[in-house]
Amino acid sequence: MGEGRRENSRARAASVHAPAVRRLRDYRRSAPRYMLAGSIVLALLAVTPAPAQAQFDVTVHGDVSLTATETSFLNGYHDSYNNTITYSASGLWVIYVCSLDADLGQSDDGFYTKPLSDLEWKRSSQSSWNAMTTSDALVRGGPAGASSFDMDYRFLLSWSQDSAGAYGATIQYTITAL
């Protein structure tokens, strides 16, 4: 009688713990596979040489400081030519330019704000000017390599609008992989 009760108890225990046992059994069976997959990934990471990090660098000429003259006003503009941008790129690249300032600043008397559009740019090899904006504008692109090119800047001037003051903007060049 006592023996029969023990057997019943074992059977009940066995039926209660059966799912956990199965999970443990499954885990023991599948663990080697997960470990194998993980090992393969790690091995690939270890043996595959990491590709060289793409390198893109741009260096902008120094600050440009101009002083308007009577001739500037008679012409309606004052230019700065051949400001060199140097770059190096390990792959296809593009360079953008934009202004970090929304305008060119105020006159000394504070009554006039010179608009950003009065600053224009172009590559020195080009003929048409582009108004500077706060959005990236494509300057040029090319294949991998290191070289330089020149930029021109133009301040538009007007007798009837401009007054005495110090005007300008900080412009940013960005080189990025194409």
Partner 1 sequence: MRLLTLLAVLLAACLLSFPARAASTDTAAINITVNDTYYVALTAGADWTYTIVEADFLNGYAVSGSLVDVMDIAGNAAYEITAQMSAATWDAGVTLQIDVEAAGWTSLNDSTATVITGLASEVAGNQDDLDLEWRLNGITWANTDSSDDWTCTVTLTCQADT
Residues contributing to the site for partner 1 (CB under 8 A): 30, 33, 36-38, 40-41, 44-45, 48, 50-51, 53-70, 73-74, 78, 80, 83, 100, 107-109, 111-112, 119, 153, 155, 157, 159-177
Place of tokens 């494509």: 138
* Min separation Cβ 106 and partner 1, Å: 12
Residue 20 or 44 having the CB closest to partner 1? 44
Residue (of 64, 139, 126, 63) closest to 96 by Cα position: 139
Contact assessment for residue 121 and residue 99, using Cβ atoms and an 8 Å cutoff: no
**Minimum CB–partner distance for residue 178 and partner 1 (Å):** 9
Closer residue to partner 1 in complex, CB, 5/29: 29
Residue 57 CA to chain centroid, in angstroms?
12
Those residues with Cβ within 8 angstroms of residue 15's Cβ, 6 or more apart along the chain or in another chain: none
